[in-house]
Structure 1
Amino acid sequence: MDGTVIHWGGAVVGLIIAIVLIFRKVNPVYALFGGAVIGGLLGGATIDLTVQYIIEGTNSVMGAVVRVLAAGVLAGILIESGAAERIAETIVAKLGEKKALLSIALATMIITAVGVFITVAIIIVAPIALSVGKKIGISKTALLLALVGGGKAGNIISPNPNTIAVAKGFDVDLAQVMIHGFLPAVAGLIVTIIVAKMLTNKGVMVSDSDQVAEEAGKKDKPSFGRAMVAPIVAIVLLALNPLGSILGIEALQAIKIDSMIILPVAGIIGLIAMRQTKSIIAYTTSGLNKMTGTAIILIGAGAIAGIISKSNLSAVVVQGIDVMGVSGTFLAPLAGILMGAATASTSTASIVAAGSFGEAILSMGTAPLAAAVMVHTGATVIDHLPHGNFFHVTAESVKMSIKERMKLIPYESIVGLTMAIVATILYGFVF
């Protein structure tokens, strides 16, 4: 080794140590930094080089970090104004009790898709789901699968941190990643409904104590029309350039506005439509606070990705694929799946997979956009394991025990795997 390239064995050991530390409840950021340092040193790099590679790795994710923080404006406004809750209530009310599971999954999907964190979206829709479930007799297992499955489907077509991270990781347009994730997301929603219906009478049923009473004096929520202004503006602005490319309209193609500008602007326009401009400081501060944790974790992910990207792991992986005779196309979703399982976070998995395996994936002939979508959907397959925050927050949202929550893991993995398979078929082989 020439002293500037880390041996793949050290990089892998560093990643494993980071995973173990996360399992041991060490803060994920420190776990990832610790794994990066150990991986660099075990891989043969000097302390100075290890630090340099870590800094280069963190620098590579700063674009994603800035965009994630900017997205906090839209997220904070949608959540704190009550707009997200109003959207969810309207969808469930319009579809009715006969289509309860569809309405719950669709509401969570849409709330997540318009820029609300998946965990927050589930928390918002969960009380509505519990109320419906108690009334018509649907188990918590089925309800939570509808919430999680809908959230996962919405997550791959959203301007959320995970989508921003994977788009930045492969240097492709955020809106393109969102658009190309639509068909896999629809497939995920359909499978969610099918599996959830099979679980309607399985598991613990909703009790009276599980339902959360409405807070006294809770402020009025905006109308559905006003609540939808911010999401619609964001979607339209994000879609202008991609639609121009698809339709061959040069005027639209010339419109290149970054999501760092679009998402805050959409949020502020929505706030004006809801006539709540006096609360702009409170809402945006809340949104920033909600995004800060994710932004910091992305920096940790960049650190470990920086070490792995400087190793010869990519070359070893490509060589192994050649020896086995397996199509290189499968490396993209597999990288997402493995990193999703390792970090129990779609956002972190997207950064680590792109930074660690991006070069190898692209060297196999996979287009950057296709790679981004396949890695992204792959990251949703096993990102719900117990060492991650998502597992525990979703369990608490429907007052479910850890034992019962564990039983749901295979079913939600089916949803993620469906989206990964559809994405791989579409963008790895068909298009």
Structure 2
Amino acid sequence: MISWWGALIGLALAIFLILRKLDPVYSLLLGAIVGAIIGGAGLEGTINILVKGEQSVMGTVLRVLAAGMLAGVMMDSGAAETLARTIVNKFGDRLAIFALALATMVITAVGVFIPVAVLIVAPIALEVGRNMHISKLSLLVALSGGGKAGNIISPNANTIAAAKGFGLELSQVMIADFIPAVIALIVTVVVARMIRKKGRAVLEQDLEDSTKTIKQSDLPTFKQAIVAPVIAIVLLLLGPIGTICHLPLLAKVNLDATYVLPFAAIIGALAMGKGEKIKSYAQTGVSRMTGVVMILIGAGAIGATITASTFPELLIDLIKASHVPGVLLAPLSGILMAGATASTSTGVILATGSFAKSILGFGVAPLAAAAMVHTGAIVIDQLPQGNYFHVTANAMHMDIKERSQGIFYEFLVGGSAMLTATILYGFLHLL
């Protein structure tokens, strides 16, 4: 058994190195090694802990790679852009902010990574902002808030990590996070409308600089674009729907994301008449997921170091002694880990790997724990040390100071989802 202080030093070292811009994978591995060794595991014991940690994340790795296939198809085929433009056009100028937030939410919810979703919708948002005199700050909040709402109900890496971290099916977490996502969308629209005149206006130069990677004529139709996400969602939800509707045969259907997501991606590509490009879509998906998979490896190591230590038991004892509701450890761990790494997926991976045992030790149901950790991870994951901050700044043609003004408003959106999940599932025990 590793000492609690050794494990904590290892975790603190890993976070410090990440903040100092060392590669996150090496930061996590170094933190795990140092924590295990000074915690008393010895050289051979440290290797055993690291190997055990890597084995524990292999299931998540498979599902993350599978999600990459769907993401590659949605991004490179133009399907995501078609969805965005259709939603914005249908709602019109009067509901422009709602349409932009909803478009980003939908694109993220169907498997596109949130930074990419913002990049896809940003040119459309700038056009709308110029015509409707909506500030860039308001547009940013609409896109980022909508993306956060979609991110917690998507088959993305963070949702997969939240599910597998607590031994759940991906569809279970997606369903549990639906109500918090809706609340986040509502808060996004309210906040974005309140600040629609705050900050700089969209300039003509912003529109000229907005690049479109896919020609309008090459975009699929809306009916073609929704084939892949609809197939994926329907297949993933067959079992839960059967359980809810008391249909025994359907309830026994347990389709895993490992094969559902690639299958849906291939059918979607064929429906768009782009079957010959499946190989390139797959390459895009794998390249996008490579970084996440590597972080999973590092997070598995640091997570195993902490769970092999006396820290989980000590943490439970400290919280009980302070009379703080133990259920709060779930959202707080998500907030702290995602805030430290400025990444939703890395935050969820670290929080589940490091604190799952302690959270469950308070009697919290696994699904409730997953929902609270997951929603907690979107509260302050937009901090400047992460790439999301800078990607979104570039997409909206903002400088660092202007982009920083959005952090508080994004915090309100993420916080609303986290509070909703904590109240519903942590205190009211609705799951």
Task: Say whether 1:153 aligns with 2:149.
Answer: yes
Query: What is aligned with 2:183?
Result: 187
Determine if contact 2:184/2:417 at 8 Å carries over to the other structure: yes
Partner of 1:381: 379
CA distances 1:110-147 after superposition (whole Å, capped 9, x unpaired): 00000111111111001111111111111111111111
- Cross-structure match for 2:319: 321
For 1:60, the equivalent position in structure 2 comes to 56
**Could you tell which deviates more after superposition, 397-406 or 40-49?**
40-49
Q: Which amino acid is the alignment partner of residue 385 of structure 1?
A: L
The correspondence for 1:283, drawn from 273, 281, 284, is 281
Aligned to 1:39: 35
- Which one of the candidate residues 7, 16, 19 is aligned to 2:15? 19
Task: Give CA-to-partner distance per residue, 1:147-185, whole Å, 9 cap, x none.
Answer: 110000000000000000110110001101001100000
CA distance in 2, matches of 1:302, 1:400: 36
Q: Which letter maps to 1:64?
A: T
Pairwise CA distance, 1:397: 1.0
Give the conservation status (yes or no) of the 8 Å contact 1:71–1:160.
yes
Q: Normalized against structure 2, the TM-score is what?
A: 0.97
Aligned to 1:366: 364
Deviations 1:34-55 (A, max 9, x none): 1111111222221221222122
Are residues 1:85 and 2:81 paired?
Answer: yes
Q: For structure 1, which segment, 402-411 or 115-124, has the greater mean C-alpha deviation from structure 2 after superposition?
A: 402-411
CA distance in 1, matches of 2:3, 2:283: 43
Q: How many residues align?
A: 427
Task: Tell me how far apart the structure 2 counterparts of residues 137 and 10 of structure 1 sit (CA, whole Å).
Answer: 55
Task: Give 1:401-416 correspondences, 5 Å limit.
Answer: 401-416=399-414
Cα distance in 2 for partners of 1:299, 1:210 equals 40
- Calculate percent identity across the aligned residue pairs: 54
Q: Which amino acid aligns with 1:328?
A: G
Aligned-residue offset at 1:90: 0.4
Rounded to whole Å, the distance in 1 between the matches of 2:167 and 2:318 is 26
Kindly state the Cα deviation for residue 229 of structure 1 after the two structures are TM-superposed: 0.7
- Conservation of the 8 A alpha-carbon contact between 2:130 and 2:201: yes
Question: What amino acid maps onto 1:61 in structure 2?
Answer: V
Q: Structure 1 length normalisation: TM-score?
A: 0.97
CA distance in 1, matches of 2:387, 2:178: 26
CA offsets, 1:371-419, max 9 Å, x none? Answer: 1111100111111111111111111111111111112111111111110
Assess, with a 3 A threshold, how the Cα gap between structure 1 residues 237 and 16 changes in structure 2: closer, same or farther.
Answer: same
Choose from 172, 177, 183 the match for 1:176: 172
* Unpaired stretches in structure 1, ≥5 consecutive residues: none
Contact 1:165 1:347 (C-alpha < 8 Å) held by counterparts? yes
Give the Cα separation in 1 of the matches to 2:211 and 2:153.
Answer: 32
**Residues 171-320 of structure 1: pairs in structure 2 closer than 5 A:** 171-211=167-207, 212=210, 214=212, 220-320=218-318
Q: Decide whether the 8 Å contact of 1:6 with 1:40 is kept in 2.
A: yes
- The runs of 5 or more residues in structure 2 that have no matched partner are none
Distance 1:213 1:157, change over 3 A: closer
User: Is the contact made by 1:298 and 1:347 (CA closer than 8 Å) also made in structure 2?
Assistant: no
Local SS of the residue matching 1:255: coil
2:161 maps to amino acid: A
1:218 to partner: Cα distance: 6.0
TM-superposed deviation, 1:215: 5.9
Runs (4+) off by over 6 Å: none
Determine the C-alpha separation between the residues in 1 that align with 2:190 and 2:102: 13
**More deviation in 124-133 or 405-414?**
405-414
Cα separation, 2, equivalents of 1:25 and 1:205:
33
The one-letter code sitting in structure 2 at the alignment partner of 1:258 is D
Q: Which amino acid counterpart does residue 92 of structure 2 have in structure 1? A: G
Following superposition, the deviation at residue 17 of structure 1 comes to: 1.3
What SS does structure 1 have at the residue aligned with 2:82?
helix
Structure 2 counterpart of 1:341: 339
Tell me the secondary structure at the aligned position of residue 201 of structure 1: coil
Q: Provide closer, same or farther for how the CA distance between residues 349 and 213 of structure 1 changes in structure 2, counting only shifts above 3 A.
A: closer
Q: What's the counterpart of residue 133 of structure 1?
A: 129
Q: 1:101 to 1:217 in 2, by over 3 A?
A: closer
Q: Aligned partners of 1:15, 1:170: CA distance in 2, in Å?
A: 20
Give the Cα separation in 1 of the matches to 2:359 and 2:49: 21
Other-structure match for 1:163: 159
| Cα distance in 1 between the residues matched to 2:181 and 2:381 | 16
420 and 213 in structure 1: CA distance in 2 versus 1, 3 angstrom threshold: closer
The farther-off stretch of 212-221 and 237-246 is 212-221
Larger mean CA deviation between 326-335 and 181-190 belongs to 326-335
Shift of 1:214: 4.5
1:117 to 113, 123, 140: 113
Please tell me whether the aligned partners of residues 19 and 340 of structure 2 are also in contact (alpha carbons under 8 angstroms). no
Mapped contact 2:78–2:214 kept (Cα < 8 A): no
Distance of 1:70 and 1:213 partners within structure 2: 29
Residue 352 of structure 2 is matched in structure 1 by: 354
Shift of 1:347: 1.0
Q: Deviations over 1:260-305 (max 9, x none)?
A: 1110111111111111111111111111111111111111111111
For 1:84, the aligned partner's letter is: A
Amino acid in structure 2 at the alignment position of 1:233: I
Q: What is the RMSD computed on CA atoms of the aligned residues? A: 1.3
The answer as to 2:69 corresponding to 1:73 is: yes
SS at match of 1:222: coil
SS at match of 1:167: helix
